[in-house]
Structure 1
Amino acid sequence: MARKTDTPDIYDDLRTKLMAGYFPQGNKLKPSELAGFYGCSVNTVRETLFRLSTVGLVISEDQRGFRARPASRQRQHDLANFRISLEQLGAVQSIKNGGIEWEARLTAAHHKLSHIESRISKAENIESILMPWGAAEWEFHETLLSASDSALLREVFKSIYDQFRQQLATQSDNFGFFEGNINEHRRIVDAALAGDADEICKAIHDHLCRTLLKD
């Protein structure tokens, strides 16, 4: 049954589904089918898919329509490298600039994420927890960088993060959740609260290095 959805909600919903690997890699995205699902016009869906193509989550092809971006180990490697560099830089800036309010927000974001990841580690099927986990994971990493004085860094990081999550979800088991996430996120927040720039750079690298291609 179709559901009536506002345009921003369509964008956010499709973005979340693409990042979670809901659509098979390279799968054709048909505006007519999506319009029926969302209860909106075909043109609205086309505009939304085009917007998603500008941030790398969808491929737009002349005369051929839209496709979910195919999985690529090389692309995942490149995105992981970019993400590590940006997140390290932004986290160090946040440590320098952030005060008690930033620390409180980061602690709260980590508490929420840790709670959800503990549920995932005990669940037989994580699909029902997937959406809240994705939101909590993004909130944690966004908050980590939120005291950076570079709005451009945060903007680029969001684009890289979204594309990275999409690649990871389509190429790994459990939609990109790893058992080590819980301890790795704890190590990151501990380094941030201790104001240890060297340790937080190491923690971020160690958290993401499993997604790099091996030499």
Structure 2
Amino acid sequence: MNEEVDIYQHLKMRLISNGFEHGAKVRAEELRKDYGCSASTVREVLFRLSSVGLVDFQEQKGFRVPKRSPQKLIELTHIRVLLEGEGTAMSIRNGGVDWEARLTAAHHKLSHIEKRIHATDDPSELIEIWFASEKEFHQTLISACGSDTLKQMHGRIYAQFRQQLMVADRRFEFISENIRHHADILEAALSGDEQLTKQKIHDHLKRHLTGKTMGD
């Protein structure tokens, strides 16, 4: 079981961080060799990934990475704004000092990485840690909401959202805005102003509501 969990997590990261091209066929036989496991284990992992929207499956055609879709990105962004905004508002009410400390720590790490990316011409070695730190910050925002259902839904939407942007976001053309946006979200959340925090989350994500951030 641990092997399957490890393969699932590793393959999930590959699927949302440009490990496969959009629309590409995902071949169980090749993955079996990559991971040194049985074909049945790989197929089970792929079916699990298809259940959370990160792989498409069709009878007789097998598994494929979802295609890039401006409309899908807009829809995912709308849902993410709603879930993250409400989840953060609930965390503000319920989280207390412990949540504030965890959020501040998550932001400190993310801000440090984003400033390093902003200062370098080749951020390739920082991409993986940025993906993880950005996810950690946004998950921490909603971590004290008190709703496992909301957190699970957010995790699923976040992964699909990230997958749609896996090409465009590797350019980091947005990084200076990100630094400011994340700081604004942190400040609003720590101030306890739920409406302002929701607005800052919307402001951070609104560039994806036009369908023009997909990249080439």
TM-score, normalised by the number of residues in structure 2:
0.93
1:178 and 2:190 correspond: no
**Residues 84, 135 of structure 1: CA spacing in aligned structure 2 closer, same or farther, 3 A cutoff?**
same
Q: Report SS of the residue matched to 1:211.
A: helix
- Per-residue deviation, 1:98: 1.1
- Per-residue deviation, 1:78: 0.2
Q: CA RMSD in A?
A: 1.6
1:18 and 2:15 correspond: yes
Runs of 4+ in 1 over 6 A off after TM superposition: none
TM-score, normalised by the number of residues in structure 1:
0.93
Q: 2:185 aligns with which of 188, 202, 209?
A: 188
1:205 and 2:202 correspond: yes
Aligned residues: 210
| CA displacement 1:100-120 (0-9 Å, x = unmatched) | 100000011111111111121
Q: 1:27 aligns with which of 7, 24, 27?
A: 24
Counterpart in the other structure of 1:55: 52
Q: What is the alpha-carbon distance in structure 2 between the residues aligned to residue 33 and residue 149 of structure 1?
A: 41
1:69 and 2:66 correspond: yes
Q: What is the alpha-carbon distance in structure 2 between the residues aligned to residue 213 and residue 200 of structure 1?
A: 22
Q: In the TM superposition, what are the counterparts of 1:23-172 in structure 2 within 5 Å? A: 23-170=20-167, 172=168
Alignment gaps of 5+ in structure 1: none
CA contact (8 A) 2:181 2:200 kept: yes
| CA displacement 1:173-215 (0-9 Å, x = unmatched) | 526662211110000011111111121011000000000127x
| CA displacement 1:5-54 (0-9 Å, x = unmatched) | 92211111111111112210000011111111111111111111110000
Q: What is the alpha-carbon distance in structure 2 between the residues aligned to residue 173 and residue 188 of structure 1?
A: 20
- Per-residue deviation, 1:126: 2.4
